[in-house]
Amino acid sequence: MALSDAFALPPAWVSDAVVYQVFPDRFRRAEVTPIASQQRQVAGLQWQPWGSDPMLQGFQGGDLWGVIESLDHLQGLGVTCLYLTPIFASAANHRYHAYDYLKVDPLLGGDQAFDALLAELHRRGMRLILDGVFNHCGRGFWAFHHLLENGITSPYRDWFHIHHWPMHPYPRAGESCGYSCWWNDPALPKFNHAHPPVQDFLLQVGRHWLERGIDGWRLDVPDEVPSGFWISFRRMVRSVNPEAWIVGEIWGDAVPWLQGDQFDGVMNYRLGWSSLCWAAAGRLSEAYNNPQYPLEPLDADALLAIWTATQDSCRPEVNTAQLNLLDSHDVPRALHTLKGDAAALRLALLLLILQPGAPCIYYGTEAGLQGGEEPGCREAMPWGQPWPHDLCSAIQAFLQLRRRFPILRQGGLCWHPQGRDGLIGLAPGLAVALNRSRQRVLTLDSQLVRQGSDATLDCELLIGAAGPSPLTLSPQSAVLLSQGRGGSGCSD
């Protein structure tokens, strides 16, 4: 293979990956790690009570030691890769306001906890993706702080887009802050990427953490950064680790970033919201005001049109490198969108896991968390408490299915509408059928099913209750039909 071809291809491991997204401050506060306990005692840290209202500012104390303590749970679900929202030193609980890109936030356990987490992940054969915020920084970032202290005489004045002096980092009502910032938020000054030292610094940050051993980057708001920077970024990444995964946060049409010179894949929000909108069967929560995450009822034809357009716009190898998700720290939780209907969530999760690309489970999905719009979706994981819904067994079963049939990871299912409320995905020797209706039994088209299954049907119930025959589906259920594999028919 030519070097240029290798440069353009995504890492092969991604198509087999199962990702779990962690929002560190709210995931787990370490309980038994001696080093973590000692650090808290020395620092005299005080946290908000665990489970406090996520709408409040402040810190609940989740840390990387807590992530380490949870790895048995995550690996038991079938997770093979962690995606952590930002972990660099910051004065915000979400840490998208970085002030030091080369240090892990001490509140998360610092570099010592990071090294321990990375070592334990790799010992288990798991991988780690970090969140790169290279469009903007926090007001405490050293170059911006220097600018605030020295004004126009600062050597760093060209690192940012300054509109007037003096700047007002904490402007009063009606007052301009005097510099470009992300979405007009003075807490997030925007880098001047046309200034070569800025590019050099950010590339140094990317290189530093790759050399520390991470397995890839998720890139925040990359559509607001010049594409030339991302071309340089990809060259740097491939030079350090040719197997590192580069994922961009692009919500809409991602084609310009997926030509082999910038990203391997993107956060596939289109797949997420469309799957939820179909599984909901018309029962969605109040409208979410985001045109790039439209939550409106979809029938099967509309759903498949979205899936087809999304996949047809990319090369097959790119489709297997997408980060597929139903929800995240930026949108309402899937169960909130589905008005608390756990059966509908199971259907949506199954759809997610049956697609090419890496499925991503947002932390707390397995516990039935259902926070609303951000920051409500960033609630604390309820360790040691009763869970609203325990979806662990469903997630485990779906991921086992994905491992059992490699064709599911490579985009082998061909999807067809089935009546008003059904979907059938077909591949040689295999059919998966879903019924989203809450009341109606769905009778499958036997001729269509046998096009995929080819031979005597074995029936394996995936969701819900068994129908009266292998070719019927009870409300809110799903079934796997395959060539003779020693099964004994449908069972609950």
Tell me which residues are annotated as active site. 220, 249
C-alpha atoms less than 13 angstroms from C-alpha of 294 in its C-beta half-sphere? 8
C-alpha distance across the termini of the chain, in Å: 49
User: How far, in Å, CA of 437 to CA of 347, rounded?
Assistant: 11
Tokens of 30: 């370490």
- Rounded to the nearest 10 degrees, the angle between the axes of helix 110-123 and helix 34-43 is 170
User: How far, in Å, CA of 373 to CA of 101, rounded?
Assistant: 28
User: How far, in Å, CA of 229 to CA of 251, rounded?
Assistant: 20
Decide the pairing of beta strands 216-219 and 127-132: parallel
CB 102 within 8 A of CB 208: yes
- In 354-391, which residue ranges form alpha helices assigned H by DSSP? none
Q: What is the dihedral of CA 156, 159, 161, 165, to 10 degrees?
A: -10
Bridge partners, 218 (sequence order): 131, 247
Residue holding tokens 């991921």? 399
SS3 call for 124: coil
Q: What is the dihedral of CA 302, 307, 310, 312, to 10 degrees?
A: -110
List Cβ neighbours of 45 (8 Å cut-off, separation of 6 or more).
61, 107
461 φ/ψ angles, rounded to the nearest 5 degrees: -70, 130
CB 95 within 8 A of CB 23: no
Minimal CA–CA distance to 29: which of 75, 74, 60, 72?
A: 60
Residue holding tokens 């295999």? 430
- Chain centroid, CA 371 distance in Å: 16
User: How far, in Å, CA of 388 to CA of 14, rounded?
Assistant: 32
Instruction: Classify residue 62 by burial, with Cβ atoms within 10 Å: 0-12, 13-18, 19+.
Output: buried
The three-point CA angle 320-325-329 to 5° equals 140
Q: How many CB atoms lie within 10 A of CB 256?
A: 12
